[in-house]
Amino acid sequence: MLRYILITLSCIFFQISNSTHASQNLLTGPQIWERVFVPAIHQKFNRDNHSISKAEKLLKEQGGTIVLDHGGTRTADRQVYAFLTRIANAFGLSIKEHYKFPHKHLEAIDLQLPSSTGFKWFSTLIHYEEFSPEVTELVEKDYMSNRPQLSKKGLELLEKLEEKKVLNLDEANQLVHEIVDNYFKRHGRPITKETLLAIAKESPETANALLLGPDFSHIAISVNHLNISHWYGLEVIEVLEQKLKSAKFNCLQKIQGERGSILRQTSIMADKSNFPILLDGGITSSISYPSKYVEFIQRGAIRDANDKIQFSGDKVSLFNGFLVDNAEKIYSSTDPKL
């Protein structure tokens, strides 16, 4: 009898232990976003862009801390744009603001975790139908025949996260892998060189988007979190810019945002990558073309109508959105020299 009781108690303890372990191994959408997705994007960016690793090395040598502020995607395909928003929503992000860039025929949404000031997703839709008839037709023909699709496994895991609101760690890693490594890229045949150059003359952003697919075209490092002690008391983004230029980085011509403003930004112009391309006769070749760029963003204090700095508890409330004028200039970081 005693032996039976001990065996029963052991089984109960084992079940409770397994149940507790399983619950500890479950991740919510926001946890997957912060712990798995953002690090995966960062790692991929380091593989694809040599400037970011060199810039991070320079900053770490100064004693700096690397914290990512946001990243951005671009697409001319409304279905893909909606699906990217769906992915963000599954991770717990929601739309904070809408932005319009009529001169560039773009609009964008700012997706953020409601309870966090962490990594944000700046998702851009290209209004290609506003281009010339010739370029409109080229863009539509290309994306209609090369529309990206999330794998069956990836879609099953995305649907499970949407329904259950949690995944275990293995599932979270699989989902992020399917999105970051397999979905975030160009799908289908390479673009023709003639098509690429014709589109680039009218919209460099669209040409870049067609080459990259739904992948992130940039990520931004937070200047506020660098914590380089000997830069304290200085206008940090200006010191940073001069440091980058002294190290021979090809930076944006001018910092966007005036000194003391709520948002100041600069960037390292996009690295060139080799992309497959089709020549006349269907011959596959490659082209060296601006790919992804690294941004640096310095957020200023929110002030009230009387110009008084606002606080959240003991912390200064920093502006957590984006500015149209700044972003429009930053977009030029992927402009080719045609």
pLDDT tens-digit map of 243-255? 999 999 999 999 9
Share of the chain above pLDDT 70, in %: 93
What mean pLDDT do residues 297-307 have? 95
pLDDT tens-digit map of 181-223? 999 999 999 999 999 999 999 999 999 999 999 999 999 999 9
What mean pLDDT do residues 49-69 have? 98
307, exposed or middle or buried, with CB in 10 Å at 0-12, 13-18, 19+?
A: exposed
For residue 111 the two structure tokens come to 């997706």
Q: What residues contact 72, with CB distance under 8 A and at least 6 apart? A: 108, 121, 122, 123, 124, 216, 217, 218, 219
pLDDT tens-digit map of 16-42? 444 444 456 999 999 999 999 999 999
Q: What pLDDT is recorded for position 24? A: 60
Q: What pLDDT is recorded for position 337? A: 84
Q: What pLDDT is recorded for position 317? A: 93
Q: Which residues pair with 112 in a beta bridge?
A: 94
b/e 261-289 (16+ beta carbons within 10 angstroms → b) = ebbbbbbbbbbebebebbeeeeeeeebeb
Task: State how far Cα 195 lies from the chain centre.
Answer: 26
Q: What is the pTM of this model?
A: 0.91
Residue with the larger pLDDT of the pair 130 and 3: 130
Contact yes or no for 299/318 (Cβ under 8 A):
yes
- Confidence band, pLDDT 50/70/90 cuts, at residue 15: low
Measured distance CA(135)–CA(86) in Å, rounded: 29
pLDDT tens-digit map of 110-126? 999 998 889 999 999 99
Q: What pLDDT is recorded for position 281? A: 86
Average pLDDT, the chain: 93
